[in-house]
Structure 1
């Protein structure tokens, strides 16, 4: 959305199309974390191999992308500070989602134990309280607030919500959730259309037309949960093609949503701004999305079968030694106290 700057004085089909597409991105982020929480809730410990695999993936893209733009001078990237910063992608939040997910994963065994200790009733009460503080309180335009909620706390909320679904509601086969989720998507989109219409007369409302597209708004939360439950309950046979593409999705995110690469893709390469009032915007956007998705997927799959394979061979060799050292250190601390 930041690539396009539409006027609030009128509504065009191009503006509505961009808004329709942008809504999917926020829902996708929520779904990613719901899936993670659903599968991690029963984990009793963190795996060093998984941590190093995750770090290796983020580190590779951070350094590779930065060096590419630094050496080629594309888009005027010539700061050595940027190169040095790329060596610490998680602590510098090069990708906010990667940093937040990493933190939650490190704490996941403790979070899981605490949640299971709460029991069903208190777990539900915790979700309701967090929903009020992080979501419901944010519903009034210009008035609401979400009690200092940040990205990490929101992803933690989704983790807790997904954990509840896995622990207590997994046996419920809710019918038509995909249909209801699709309807919720349409209704959420219509909030933007409504504010666009009001914005013609009240400019301030037009400037916040996509207010209810936020990750922590009720419409997006409801849509995300419905779609998550709906697809979770689908009986889909294992597909090698689907699994292969799924394995590359996080890499696609890291590659195309890098600050440097994102600017190059949407502004320099595809020149999206030039299509803001063009009828060609629809075809252009679909082609660009497909090119980016499958292009980045190819890059990620190549990385998985080459660089990551070598990296994990090394990781699998050193992890037992590191784990043994950590275990001895913990035992020493326990003995001291």
Structure 2
């Protein structure tokens, strides 16, 4: 069995932690941070940075998968395994909260059985499954197109989806929205990951780190300027940009973050590789639609911290670490207890079905 690279597995862990602290900001601070208030400008500046860094982490996380998948064959089991894991967590969490007498929205037959995944809707899972389904066609593009053609495709999609999206709405026919969706955006990330795998060999870590640091400092500079100008219109526009997946700054930092870890040399580390397998579980647990509402609205309330930026970021780090560690422990238990009983059995059934379908 081929050993996984620990440098990219470490990036998987770092990215998921940044996603958790991003959720602390976007879900736990949404009440007071969505519009500019001069009295809490510093805290809102930190909030904006956490929004951006979380979206960059999502891009880095997807790039890891795209980087490896771009040179692999399509396997139906990848999609089935993803859906099974999501299904198991969705129902375990739903039933646990029901047994604990939490008030949950009633589920109609439609909400209960469609669309997948059930009963909690995870946008990331849907977009990732979409990417996996189209993986053979994306790999065909990477194989058949020249280097210049792939660069042109990536450049055109970046202009359409990352730049034109954020130009003020004075364009004819809403052309900046053509064909954009989160699902399609994952295909752009896939092409970038595949391009890096095919053409970008290991570079100097110094070069990659410099690109990452420069990108982060540029974003911090923009946030400081917006706060200094003390005008809500600029803050609102920056918030609208940083809160979505196709933010150009998020893409730049996400790619730079991926390149930095790719260029690292880390010997195979069993602990890192083992923990990294739980990162998808961390996402499914803490960002479950029911858990999200309870966690960020009932258990954790950051309203009192809006005037205390240091306490806001300190609490965010502490809470995120606690959530991260607890979710890892839960997922390890699930992997040991449930996966050994169910997942392997489902894989056998999938293989039998595929063997039968080829006859």
TM class, shorter-length: 0.7 to 0.9
Give the structure 2 partner of residue 256 of structure 1: 286
Give the structure 1 partner of residue 84 of structure 2: 56
1:104-253 aligned at under 5 Å gives the runs 104-142=131-169, 145-173=176-204, 175-198=206-229, 200=230, 202-213=231-242, 214-253=244-283
SS in 2 for 1:37: helix
Q: For 2:192 and 2:321, locate their aligned partners in 1 and report how far apart those are by CA, in whole Å.
A: 32
Structure 2 residue 131 is matched with structure 1 residue 101:
no
Residues 56 and 69 (structure 1 numbering): CA distance in 2 closer, same or farther, change over 3 Å?
same
Aligned residues of 2:127 and 2:183 also touching (Cα < 8 A) = yes
Give the structure 1 partner of residue 9 of structure 2: none
Q: 1:228, CA displacement in angstroms? A: 0.9
Aligned residues of 2:56 and 2:253 also touching (Cα < 8 A) = yes
Q: For 1:102 and 1:225, locate their aligned partners in 2 and report how far apart those are by CA, in whole Å.
A: 21
Aligned residues of 1:8 and 1:206 also touching (Cα < 8 A) = yes
Task: Could you list the structure 1 runs, at least 4 aligned residues long, displaced by more than 4 angstroms after superposition.
Answer: 141-144, 171-174
Aligned residues of 2:279 and 2:328 also touching (Cα < 8 A) = yes
SS in 2 for 1:8: coil
Q: 1:285, CA displacement in angstroms? A: 1.4
Aligned residues of 2:120 and 2:289 also touching (Cα < 8 A) = no
Q: For 2:109 and 2:237, locate their aligned partners in 1 and report how far apart those are by CA, in whole Å.
A: 33
Aligned residues of 2:138 and 2:190 also touching (Cα < 8 A) = no
Residues 128 and 218 (structure 1 numbering): CA distance in 2 closer, same or farther, change over 3 Å?
same
Q: For 2:180 and 2:287, locate their aligned partners in 1 and report how far apart those are by CA, in whole Å.
A: 23
1:313-332 aligned at under 5 Å gives the runs 313-328=344-359
Residues 31 and 211 (structure 1 numbering): CA distance in 2 closer, same or farther, change over 3 Å?
same
TM-score (normalised: structure 2): 0.82
SS in 1 for 2:315: helix
Residues 45 and 191 (structure 1 numbering): CA distance in 2 closer, same or farther, change over 3 Å?
same
Residues 114 and 176 (structure 1 numbering): CA distance in 2 closer, same or farther, change over 3 Å?
closer
Give the structure 2 partner of residue 68 of structure 1: 96
Q: Which fold has the larger relative contact order, with Cα–Cα distance below 8 Å and residues 6 or more apart in sequence?
A: 2
RMSD between superposed Cα atoms in Å: 2.4
SS in 2 for 1:170: coil
Q: Any unmatched runs of 5+ in structure 2?
A: 1-25
Q: 1:34, CA displacement in angstroms? A: 1.0
Residues 274 and 61 (structure 1 numbering): CA distance in 2 closer, same or farther, change over 3 Å?
farther
